[in-house]
Structure 1
Amino acid sequence: TAQTLPKWEGWYTRGAREEQWTYGRNLQTSTMLSLLTPEYQQRMTQMDYHEAVSNAPQWMAAFCYPEGFMRWWAEFSINEIEVIVTPHQVQLLSGVADNFLRKVLIGRRHVQKVPQWYGETIGFWDGNTLVAWTANVIPWTMSHSMFEYSDKLQVIEVFTPSRDGNGITVDATFYDPEAFIRPLHIVTPWIRRNGPDDPEARYTFIECRVQSTIVNGPDGRPTQLIPTDEGFIDYFGRPWAENWEKRFEKGWQHPEH
């Protein structure tokens, strides 16, 4: 019941930055490659080469590609995390270039036949510990010189109250027999910043294309469109009307207001 659930609702930031290997900050390429299967070693090497040598990074946020499930553990893909707890589900909401809305469905089973960008997450309570199991993900990449993963990826997360009472500790284990030679593991502290009663706490919904106009240029490298470029869209104007006027209304005489 709502009365017996942990009082986790509120806003959190992730801590232990230097210990988060998924950020790629303190991780050598050779170390990460040693944990991948040959096919996924090749894919990661391809990405690293073209980011470092070709200068043609293909970052998710830059092109407004889908983030994909594993980007939840990247450094700059999410910001503050809003947590909402109900008897039927635990909702996790965050984002920077895209909106991550994750729902841990309590007491359910995996039923979706079509893979999802953020997978399908079910879970259960063991006292004040939440155990979550995610499967049915769409294969994608962490980008930023990291690895790709397959649709075989499954993740077990264990959420427990932090010892100091000021947050949640999230213990995650990643299983992907197609991409990883063994399970991978990470522990991330979530530090509570605000409660649900904070009068100024808000989640700002994100529309990626409004804040990024990057495309691949003729040379295959990222370039940013400006208002004078073909294909630039002014999302703060009337782009639908601009298309009609440019393509279909040439020579028309519009009534004066």
Structure 2
Amino acid sequence: MKSHRDRSMLVIGVCMLVVAAFTTTIVAQLVPIRSEVVVPAPKFPSAEAHFNSLREQAKGGTKHTATSLPDWSGIWQSGIATMSMRHPVDAPLSPMYRARYEEKQRQERELGEVYYDRLTHCEPSAYPRWIVEPYHKEFALSPNQAWLMQEFMNETRRVYTDGRPHATPEGNTWLGDSIGFWSGDRLVVWTSSVKAADYLRGYPDNSAELEGIEVWQRVKGTNGRPDRIVVQATMYDPVGLTGPWNIAASYVKADYEHRIRYWDCALTSNDVLSGDGRTTSILPGEKGYKAPRNDVTRPQQDAPPR
């Protein structure tokens, strides 16, 4: 059986071929638009204090109608090239979470990959990882709610902008509970009650105490660059962090036709746990590989219809 390092190199090679075949245009657009962090001032002690301050500055928020909301229509592309996080991250990690992150770094250096990643079990990317997962995003805005949708795992974040408080009778969930308000064309979001997870594969973990404040805004493209939606986010985690951590990401508007479909992870995932408990991938040609599905619901026709 191939070593994990050899397997990782094969996986990377396959991914590079797929990306190259998919489009060179989007890659060219993404690379120069890495988002830089705008650190909020002043420094807030909690997500609640941060949210209340922004709402006070917005005088309670803008009351939009269906016709006055910003236009975020279309499909938006995100990914590693558009986020501020870089290895090694500058997060103010607590000692325990610093040790966890350093262990992941060791595994990547010595094994070529992290020992384990929970997406192997078809678990959601969850919050805050949702922000930077490199999959298509789509947004549906209404006066009382904003739906932030991700192709991967069919994850939809519902942001309630009608003034209601947090409500989590079911406890912590993968995407948490999100409330917010509009400040002109900027959407301010406060997310809480998440599950313990991570920021991205190989990146630091977060605890279930994490809360996030996000400010979203569509930015007009200049000098031939496409429009993008930029999110500035501040993470508050009294267990995983010793202070607020500011990150940023942007989503480039795709210039190609695409429709988000239902994601059936169980039928298409080639990520598995190996016998030693590590995350690995089944490659094309290996036993158990699941080829992409291309089912049709109508019989084949020998000749085009008249």
Q: TM > 0.5 between the two?
A: yes
* 1:81 to 1:224, Cα distance in 2 relative to 1, 3 A: closer
Structure 2 partner of 1:62 = 120
Structure 1, residues 121-178: CA drift from partner, whole Å, max 9, x if none?
1111122221111111111123522111111111111112314483322111111121
Given the alignment, which residue of 238, 251, 264 partners 1:207?
Answer: 264
**CA-based RMSD:** 3.0
Deviation, 1:227, is 9.2
Given the alignment, which residue of 119, 132, 138 partners 1:82?
Answer: 138
With structure 2 as the length reference, what TM-score do the two structures score?
0.62
Given the alignment, which residue of 148, 165, 188 partners 1:92?
Answer: 148
Deviation, 1:5, is 1.4
Matched, 1:146 2:210: no
Structure 2 partner of 1:28 = 88
* 1:28 to 1:3, Cα distance in 2 relative to 1, 3 A: same
State the alpha-carbon separation in 1 of the partners of residues 121 and 84 from structure 2: 24
Q: Count matched residues.
A: 220
State the alpha-carbon separation in 2 of the partners of residues 163 and 233 from structure 1: 41
Deviation, 1:56, is 5.7
Structure 2 partner of 1:245 = none
Structure 2 partner of 1:251 = none
State the alpha-carbon separation in 2 of the partners of residues 121 and 160 from structure 1: 17
Structure 1 partner of 2:77 = 13
TM alignment of 1:132-171, pairs within 5 A: 132-164=189-221, 166-171=227-232
* 1:234 to 1:138, Cα distance in 2 relative to 1, 3 A: same
Structure 1, residues 194-232: CA drift from partner, whole Å, max 9, x if none?
6xxx9x541122111212243323223345579977xx9
Matched, 1:176 2:231: no
3-state SS of the aligned residue for 1:10?
coil
Give the aligned residue type for 2:84: W
* 1:222 to 1:129, Cα distance in 2 relative to 1, 3 A: closer
Give unmatched runs, 5+ long, in structure 2: 1-64, 294-306
3-state SS of the aligned residue for 2:75?
strand
Contact 1:172 1:186 in 2 (8 A): yes
3-state SS of the aligned residue for 1:39?
helix
With structure 1 as the length reference, what TM-score do the two structures score?
0.73
Contact 1:58 1:143 in 2 (8 A): no
* 1:201 to 1:207, Cα distance in 2 relative to 1, 3 A: same
Structure 2 partner of 1:2 = 66
Give the aligned residue type for 1:175: Y
State the alpha-carbon separation in 1 of the partners of residues 150 and 214 from structure 2: 17
Structure 1, residues 23-69: CA drift from partner, whole Å, max 9, x if none?
x4xx226x45xx20011112223333344435662123333233221
Give unmatched runs, 5+ long, in structure 1: 237-257
